[in-house]
Structure 1
Amino acid sequence: MSLIHNERIKLLATYLNGVGIAIFAVGGFAPIISSLYNQTGPTLILMLVSLVCFLVSAVLHYAASNVLKRLKP
């Protein structure tokens, strides 16, 4: 039974980490890169949104690492 439990825990951690990566890529990284090619450059609002997305992705990554602590030996 612990094997099934461990696999479910790993699946949840992988999902959380994947969502964190997606939020960072779409909301944190891509807008900054695309704004560098605009004539106006990055705005303050864009930087704040990117910072929030980066922080959310870091929290999700941390949550995923905490989920892995529930693995049974």
Structure 2
Amino acid sequence: MDPRKRVLVQNERAKLSAAAIDRLSTACVAVGFITPLVSLSGSTIVPSWSLELVFSTVTWLVAAFILHLMARHVLRRLEP
């Protein structure tokens, strides 16, 4: 295979991998932050943040941040 084509294929694979990892980070934000926020806002009782809910939310947000950093790391493999 032509070396230039090989570089293009490797770059596309890296971009696809980074995009997949970043979608996972977006899902973590949805699960960890948006879902509890919506469930608390739909309650007729005064919403309260329990320690478990706060811990869970922070854990999901940290996981999202780590996944986002991993996606950025994958993009460093791009070649000119």
Give me the TM-score of the superposition, normalised by structure 1: 0.89
The one of 64, 73, 79 aligned to 1:66: 73
- Give me the identity figure in percent: 32
1:45, CA displacement in angstroms? Answer: 0.3
Aligned residues: 73
Query: What CA distance in whole angstroms lies between the structure 2 residues aligned with 1:63 and 1:32?
Result: 26
SS of corresponding position for 2:49: coil
Aligned to 2:31: 26
Query: What CA distance in whole angstroms lies between the structure 2 residues aligned with 1:61 and 1:28?
Result: 16
Query: What CA distance in whole angstroms lies between the structure 1 residues aligned with 2:68 and 2:57?
Result: 16
The one of 12, 15, 26 aligned to 2:17: 12
Q: Give the alignment's Cα RMSD to 1 decimal.
A: 1.3
Give the ranges of 4+ consecutive aligned residues of structure 1 lying more than 3 Å apart after TM superposition. none
Query: What CA distance in whole angstroms lies between the structure 1 residues aligned with 2:34 and 2:76?
Result: 29
1:27, CA displacement in angstroms? Answer: 2.1
Give the gaps of 5 or more residues in structure 1.
Answer: none
SS of corresponding position for 1:70: coil
Q: Give CA deviations for 1:9-57 in whole Å, capped at 9, x if unaligned.
A: 0000000000000011112222133224432522110111000000000
Give me the TM-score of the superposition, normalised by structure 2: 0.82
- Flag the structure with higher helix content: 1
Query: What CA distance in whole angstroms lies between the structure 1 residues aligned with 2:79 and 2:23?
Result: 23
Paired AA for residue 33 in structure 1:
V
